[in-house]
Amino acid sequence: MKELVVISGKGGTGKTTVVGAFVALASNKVIADCDVDAADLHLILRPRVEKTIGYEGSELAVIDQDLCTGCGACVRACRFGAVSEREGRYTVDPLSCEGCGACAHACPVGAIELKPRLSGWIHVSSTPYGTLVHGELRPGEETSGKLVTQVKMRARELARLEGAKLLLIDGSPGIGCPVIASLSGAHCGLVVTEPSMSALHDLVRVVEVARHFRARVLLIINKADLSPELTTRIEGYAKKEGLPVLGRIPYDEGVIRAQVAGRTVVEDGDGPAARALRELWGRLAAELEIR
Ligand code: SF4
Ligand code: SF4
């Protein structure tokens, strides 16, 4: 089984459009949405949730009132103002607690324990295109590589059980912990970029991260015709770095129409972007030897 992660240094380069098209074109695959911060793949994949597993990504300090002597050391130790006292009773505000453990360390009688708390969920869903594993964070919870890793591990397990040839991962944006978790163990990192200065800047950084994992790194330039000059510059950078450019996708208003209709662009007509994506998928499948 091959593992393909689609990433982009910055948001808004069309990563999800590319993933959606490949999801529709690839056969025998499991899909993982690791873009847990801005998960929008489900808008076009129309998942029906079959199973949900709780995700415990953080800890919460809990005070045992029977042991507490009311010394106040925990209030002084907490930098987040999460512990308060009212009428001699000390309590922790779950919304402010960061789970750092300083209060438990400071408590002279061991009255504070850190307990795992529900930070989100991992869903396993059926879609018209195959099984999708996706994460959901509770409001106020921060994305962590840990949720991405758990989404990926569950997707890998299912891909093996289903005998899938491909695990297609919509990776996290940026270059932080979640994208590192998305890339770990992947065979191929496909970077979707666009001809803009900010995208070029982020491309250089994300390629460095992807290479660190020894994944084969390929490049797609989306909306390439919007700035032929910057597209040439990106291709120049790729050549210098020995980075294969899989191809270009032209700007096409059909992409927005497909998004509004909740469909993948390759199923919503035969515009220039759809044609380019079909061609790119052919090349990518050959690269991955999954035809
Ligand atoms: S675990 Fe950290 S943030 Fe939470 S109450 Fe204790 S000191 Fe404050
Ligand atoms: S440090 Fe421990 S004993 Fe002191 S007030 Fe806090 S919970 Fe109670």
CA of 73 to the centre of ligand 2 (A): 6
Q: What is the pLDDT of residues 258-268, one digit of tens each?
A: 888 888 899 87
Structure token digits, residue 79: 């930098």
The pLDDT of residue 291 is 65
Spatial separation of the C-alpha atoms in residues 128 and 262, rounded to whole Å? 13
DSSP 8-state symbol, 76: H
Q: Which fold has domain 2-56+121-288?
A: Rossmann fold (3.40.50)
Q: Which fold has domain 58-117?
A: Alpha-Beta Plaits (3.30.70)
Spans of all domains in the chain: 2-56+121-288, 58-117
Q: Which residue has the tokens 């050549």?
A: 239
The β-bridge relationship of strands 188-193 and 216-222 is parallel
The pLDDT of residue 261 is 85
Cβ–ligand 2 distance for 68 under 6 Å, the answer yes
Q: What is the pLDDT of residues 113-172, one digit of tens each?
A: 999 999 999 999 999 999 999 998 887 777 678 888 899 999 999 999 999 999 999 987
Cα 29-217-14 angle, rounded to 5 deg: 70
CA of 158 to the centre of ligand 2 (A): 46
The pLDDT of residue 150 is 92
Spans of the chain, pLDDT less than 50? none
CA of 148 to the centre of ligand 1 (A): 25
- Phi, psi torsion values for 233, nearest 5 degrees: -65, -40
Cβ atoms of 123 and 36 within 8 Å: the answer is no
2-56+121-288 and 58-117 agree in CATH topology: no
Contacts of 40 (CB under 8 A, 6+ apart): 16
Question: Best of 100, 113, 142 to mutate for ligand 1, by most ligand atoms within 8 A of CB?
Answer: 100
Question: Best of 63, 64, 80, 96 to mutate for ligand 1, by most ligand atoms within 8 A of CB?
Answer: 80
